Amino acid sequence: MSRPRKWRIVCDIPSINCFGPRHNDPSIPPLSMSIEEYECIRLIDLEKLTQEEAAQRMQVARTTVQRIYELARWKLAKSLVEGCMLNIEGGDYELCDGQQLLKHCGFCHRKGHGHSSR
């Protein structure tokens, strides 16, 4: 029997969840990126956190973040190089409600800190 997946804490879901070329080729299948993959990209590449810091924010092991991040970067590269549509949806995540005092969530978008696009 497999172990149940641990929910990953994310601070925000993307307001834009579909990216791709202007003239989409329907013969190229779209890619799907999970919300936690998006969160890894946001934390590591945008906020410039280390994988360890991102893991603390998401309340998972660093090796889990490393695996999620590697898959997310592959999907971004495939989308850019091959012109695939990239949809951000689903996953195993729990949205930070902004009220809970997470140990490492000092820059949570939902608390009004950090870089918010809203």
Question: What pLDDT, on the 0 to 100 scale, is given for residue 99?
Answer: 54
Q: Strand pairing partners for 18?
A: 87
pLDDT of residue 116: 35
The mean of the pLDDT values for the chain is 82
114 CB burial (10 A radius; 0-12, 13-18, 19+): middle
Angle between helices 62-82 and 51-58 (to 10 degrees): 110
What is the SS3 assignment for 62? helix
31-56 pLDDT, tens per residue? 999 999 999 999 999 999 999 999 99
Strand partners, 32: 87
In angstroms, how far is CA 11 from the centroid of its own chain?
A: 10
pLDDT more than 90, % of the chain: 52
Coil, strand, or helix at residue 19?
Answer: strand
What local confidence, expressed as pLDDT, does residue 13 receive? 82
What pLDDT was estimated at residue 115?
Answer: 38
**In the chain, what are the domains?**
29-98 (1.10.10)
pLDDT at 12 over 80: no
pTM score = 0.77
